[in-house]
Structure 1
Amino acid sequence: MIVRIMGEGQFDVPDSLVDRLNELDNAVLAALDSGDETEFRTSLDALLAAVRAGGKAVPADYLGPSDATLPFESATVDEVKALLHEDGLIPG
């Protein structure tokens, strides 16, 4: 799965990490639903860190599409809500 972090680039994330990313995505969604800004920030940071740690940076000249687009680290609640799909930020 190719995951783009806005402002940073794309990462090739192994299939073995997708379930964990979905768990972290669900935590972001729960924080958004509850309006808990602290939990939102913690969950978003954990999601981005998991992509960075488990994924491999895609070369800058790669022109293929991303399977998921994540917000930049300092994104606001409203900016993240604008990126949401039916199943969250991470498909599946």
Structure 2
Amino acid sequence: MIVRIMGEGQLLLADSRVDELNALDDDLLAELERGDGPGFRRTLHALLDKVRELGEPVPDESLQPSELILPAPDATLEDVRSLLTDDGLIPG
């Protein structure tokens, strides 16, 4: 799966690794619902760090569509709310 972190680029992430991100996604969704700004920021950074850790960078010259788009590290609560689906940021 190709994952884009807004403002940073794309990473190739094995589909089997997505489950590892879902717990962080669930935490992020709960913090959004509570309006917990500091918790949201901490969890967003942990989620993005995990994607960077598990993924392999896709070369900039590669033109592949992103299957998953994650917010930039400096995204606001409102920015992230606009990207949410019923499953949160990450499907599944």
| TM-score w.r.t. length of structure 1 | 0.93
**Which amino acid letter does the alignment assign opposite residue 76 of structure 2?**
T
Shift of 1:29: 0.3
Deviation string 1:48-85 (CA, Å, 9 cap, x unpaired) is 00001110001112222111101100110001111112
CA distance in 2, matches of 1:34, 1:61: 40
Shift of 1:87: 1.2
The aligned length equals 92
Q: Which residue number in structure 1 is paired with residue 55 of structure 2?
A: 55
**Contact (CA 8 Å) 1:3, 1:68: kept in 2 or not?**
yes
Shift of 1:15: 2.5
Is there any run of 5+ residues in structure 1 with no aligned partner, and where? none
Secondary structure at the counterpart of residue 83 of structure 1 = coil
Q: Which residue number in structure 2 is paired with residue 35 of structure 1?
A: 35
CA distance in 2, matches of 1:37, 1:55: 27
Identity within the alignment, %? 54
CA distance in 1, matches of 2:88, 2:63: 24
The 4+ residue runs of structure 1 with deviation greater than 6 A are: none
| TM-score w.r.t. length of structure 2 | 0.93
CA RMSD of aligned residues (A): 1.0
Is there any run of 5+ residues in structure 2 with no aligned partner, and where? none
Shift of 1:37: 0.8
Deviation string 1:24-44 (CA, Å, 9 cap, x unpaired) is 111110100111111101110
